[in-house]
Chains A and B, each alone.
Chain A
Amino acid sequence: MGVKKDYVRPLDLRQGRIDMNHGAGGRASMQLIDEIFARAFDNDYLRQGNDGARLPVPPELLEGGQLVMACDGHIVSPLFFPGGDIGCLAVHGTINDVAMMGARPLYLSASFILEEGFALAELARVVDSMAAAARQAGVPVVTGDTKVVEQGKGDGCFIATTGVGVVPRGVKVGGAQARPGDVLIVSGTIGEHGVAVLSQRESLEFDTAIVSDTAALHTLVAGMLGAVPPGALHVLRDPTRGGLGTTLNEIARQSGVGMWIDEASIPVQPQVEAACELLGLDPLYIANEGKLVAAVAPEAAEALLAAMRAHPLGQRAARIGSVVADEHRFVQMQTRFGGRRIVDWLSGEPLPRIC
């Protein structure tokens, strides 16, 4: 009985698990790549089949634009949560980092650190979700890598992504660009991603209809840039870890300015308010994965808001305050109650109060 030519037994996606062979670089690694990664991400660049990808030069660069690069590590636990998973989160997160520079995201790379024992079924689920997110966003994963660590050293699956994009000549959006007088705008309701992830932590045991807001914001950003005169949009940032409160402080510090915000104007879903109330958390410090905050020259604010509200991801865009001159760089807030307080940097992790 001869050896069947070219026969490779396919991966057992139902019950199979990652083992050390998959990370060794030999046949098992190749099979993992072929049957899970390449199959899902499939595009011309990946099909080149090399360790690196050869990419064409985007037209904006030839016209005096600049390259933008961003990277992210993803360690969310649990891997799957209402509204998303580590896969699509990775894609959206890095696309957004590039977009927050005012850039058009072009390509992604994805590096996987897998733990020995991780279920292939879960890996396939994550990768398929990632591929779907990348396809939907129009930003392909063009190169990647896989490593395996021993059991106990890796929490299932860690993903690191890098994104590359291009910003046309003249566009300069950055955290240090906020100026006194700028209007602060948030693209929608805050606090959903963090609460959705928390709701999956066993110790908390609460059911909620809140889903993560994870989304790729690059088309929203493109619409925003197109709606205002060049140079009017000064800052874009997505309030991820640490939430809106932390992000505003980051911008204030980088730009050397202060801010005044109005609590009543900050859009929050009633469900998120209720959840935060019960857990003793402040929505201002909860992570968002599909929202952005913008600082825009005041004369362009109305046009910007209109453009945002016309986009599916910006329908609840709202003006929340303004940038002021302040050498102390305080972010001050008019509370719904009528009093005043500062919104400080987040201290450590937002653990709920007990008393």
Chain B
Amino acid sequence: MKYVDEFRDGALARGLAERIAAELRPDRRYSFMEFCGGHTHAISRYGIAELLPEAVRMIHGPGCPVCVLPVGRIDQAIGIALQRGAIVCSYGDTLRVPASDSLSLMKAKARGADIRMVYSAADALKTARANPGREVVFFAIGFETTTPPTALVVQQAAREGLRNFSVLCCHVLTPSAITHILESAEVRQYGTVPIDGFIGPAHVSIVIGSAPYEHFAEEYRKPVVIAGFEPLDVMQACLMLVRQVNASRAAVENQFARAVTRQGNLAAQRAVSDVFELRERFEWRGLGEVPYSALKIRAAYAEFDAERRFDLHYRPVPDHKQCECGAILRGVKKPVDCRLFGTVCTPENPMGSCMVSSEGACAAHYSYGRFRDVREAAA
């Protein structure tokens, strides 16, 4: 496959790994955080952590939209289906997340709720057209990549004058979450986060461009390298970060130049700002309330806002007391540091956000990297 295979070349990977090793300063360690589900997945699936030198540590930040979706929002979606009889359309990953009362969207479906898996927002719109007598709600989650498609369907629904379609908007913004991590009072509780640099998200950056990270790099004096989601991209970005750290630089660099520009995808941004506006605050699972970090539907499109339409009120639901997701998302603890990991909390029975989707730090480690814990324990 063109533009795919070349970016997964094993021989080049080895070369890059050697190059990174050669340029490391012997007197220090390097910790880089990525906050992109695609990166978490690539690092796990290709075994990149094994290839990188031991002194370089990859931290999985809050890049998985399913993982940061609070239980209270899933309860809302389930409620709309079970109690109000609406057809709720959701992306696949969200279906299995355990919510309140031992339910999940999938379990609610088994109880008779009409919940349908869709691959895109457009599918939800199609469902609305095909079922004019029923309410159809699209459970819209995701970062900036998934938001433009949602904006498009709301615009389309308005054009068609659809009377039975609405969106439960849980779209969140990436840079706000990272800022919150670095700034929040809780960092004092857990200790300073030892992050030397950031790998900027792949898909999100295609949409928002590289510009939004510039202020961020300047403000916090940390380098940001935007990387593609193929494994060679991630490794090259690591090398670029190592170089910046060694030179005490804190600039935004774009490794994903083949798809990311400074201004991003303007058509997408225009659609988003037409339909959505910022929420003052929004709860992120594992991070608590984050200001100006999420979107809601503008008044002009009020009839497509499920929260208004169904008069929904948000009820936060706390996670298990021993769940360490908050610390793990900040890079202060590792999955194995959590007492619930691998025992009570597994991919089949996730207790917290990091285990919920295959891109969560705990899920990725459980599915791909567990063998390393055994080795380290034995050593």
Query: A336 to B10, Cβ gap below 8 A?
Result: yes
User: In the complex, A218 Cα to B249 Cα: how many Å?
Assistant: 65
Query: A335 to B1, Cβ gap below 8 A?
Result: no
- Closest residue of chain B to A273 (Cβ to Cβ) is B1
Q: Mark B347-362, 1 if CB is under 8 A from A, else 0.
A: 1100000000111000
Number of interface residues of A (CB under 8 A): 27
Query: A341 to B95, Cβ gap below 8 A?
Result: no
- Residues in A with CB closer than 8 Å to B142 are 354-355
User: In the complex, A274 Cα to B359 Cα: how many Å?
Assistant: 21
User: In the complex, A352 Cα to B94 Cα: how many Å?
Assistant: 11
Q: Does A54 contact B (CB under 8 A)?
A: no
Most buried by A among B66, B143, B368: B368
- Given A347-B347, A355-B145, A355-B203, do A341 and B1 touch, yes or no (CB 8 Å)? no
Q: Does A337 contact B (CB under 8 A)?
A: yes
Query: A338 to B14, Cβ gap below 8 A?
Result: yes
Query: A330 to B371, Cβ gap below 8 A?
Result: yes
- Given A328-B374, A344-B368, A355-B64, do A339 and B48 touch, yes or no (CB 8 Å)? yes
Query: B45 to A341, Cβ gap below 8 A?
Result: yes
Q: Does B123 contact A (CB under 8 A)?
A: yes
Query: A352 to B92, Cβ gap below 8 A?
Result: yes
Query: A351 to B93, Cβ gap below 8 A?
Result: yes
- Residues in B with CB closer than 8 Å to A273 are 1
- Residues in A with CB closer than 8 Å to B367 are 342, 344, 347
CB distance from B206 to the nearest CB of A (A): 13
Q: Does A270 contact B (CB under 8 A)?
A: yes
| Interface of chain B, main secondary structure | helix
Near A by CB (< 8 A), chain B positions 179-238 give 203, 231
With beta carbons under 8 angstroms apart, the residue of B48, B63, B65, B368 that contacts A354 is B65
Q: Using a Cβ cutoff of 8 Å, how many contacts connect chains A and B? A: 107
User: In the complex, A274 Cα to B4 Cα: how many Å?
Assistant: 10
Query: A355 to B123, Cβ gap below 8 A?
Result: no
Q: Does B366 contact A (CB under 8 A)?
A: yes
Q: Does A209 contact B (CB under 8 A)?
A: no
Query: B117 to A355, Cβ gap below 8 A?
Result: no
User: In the complex, A354 Cα to B4 Cα: how many Å?
Assistant: 18
Q: Does A14 contact B (CB under 8 A)?
A: no
Query: B370 to A330, Cβ gap below 8 A?
Result: yes
What are 9 A-B pairs at a CB distance below 8 A?
A: A337-B10, A337-B51, A341-B47, A341-B368, A342-B370, A351-B96, A351-B117, A353-B357, A354-B146
Residue positions of A touching B, CB distance < 8 A: 203-204, 264, 270, 273-274, 277, 282, 328, 330, 332, 335-342, 344, 347-348, 351-355
5 nearest A-B pairs in the assembled complex, by CB-CB distance: A339-B47, A351-B92, A355-B37, A347-B347, A337-B46
